[in-house]
Amino acid sequence: MAKFIGAVVVEIETCKGCNLCVVACPTSVLDLSSEANSKGYNFSHMANSADCVGCSACANVCPDACITVYRVKTA
C-alpha cells in the first residue's frame, strides 16, 4: 500500500487558535503553540510533524482558510 508523508503550513497571523484542526487531525500532528500571534491567539502548528500523512482534514475544517497542505508518495 502506498504511503504518504505530508506537511502543513499554517498562516500564523490568520490563525485564531480555534483548535478545530487539532481535533480533526487523525494522526495527532497538530497542536496549539505556546506562543501567540500578534492578535494574541495561540496558533496551530505541527507539533508532531513525522506523523503527517497530508490528508487535508485540518484544512477542510479550518474556518479561517489558513492551512495549506502538501503531500508526497513514498512507496
Partner 1 sequence: MNIADIINPANLVYEKTKVMNDTPMHYCPGCSHGVVHKLIGEVIDEMNMQDKTIAIAPVGCAVFAYKYLEIDWQQAAHGRAPALATAVKRLLPDRLVFTYQGDGDLAAIGTAETIHACNRGENIAIIFINNGIYGMTGGQMAPTTLKGMKSSTSPRGREVPLAGNPLDITTLLAKLDGVCYATRHAVHTVAAVKKTKRAIRQAFDNSMQNKGTSIVEIVSTCSSGWKMTPADSNDWMVENMFPAYPMGDLKNE
Q: Residues in the site for partner 1, rule: CB under 8 A?
A: 5-7, 9, 13-14, 16-20, 23-24, 41, 46, 49, 54, 56-57, 59-72, 74
1 or 25, CB closer to partner 1? Answer: 25
Looking up cell 498562516, which residue turns up?
11
In order of 4, 21, 27, 74, 75, the CA distances from 1 in angstroms are 10, 26, 18, 10, 8
Cβ of residue 71: shortest distance to partner 1, in angstroms? 5
33 or 59, CB closer to partner 1? Answer: 59
Q: Provide the 3-class DSSP secondary structure of residue 49.
A: helix
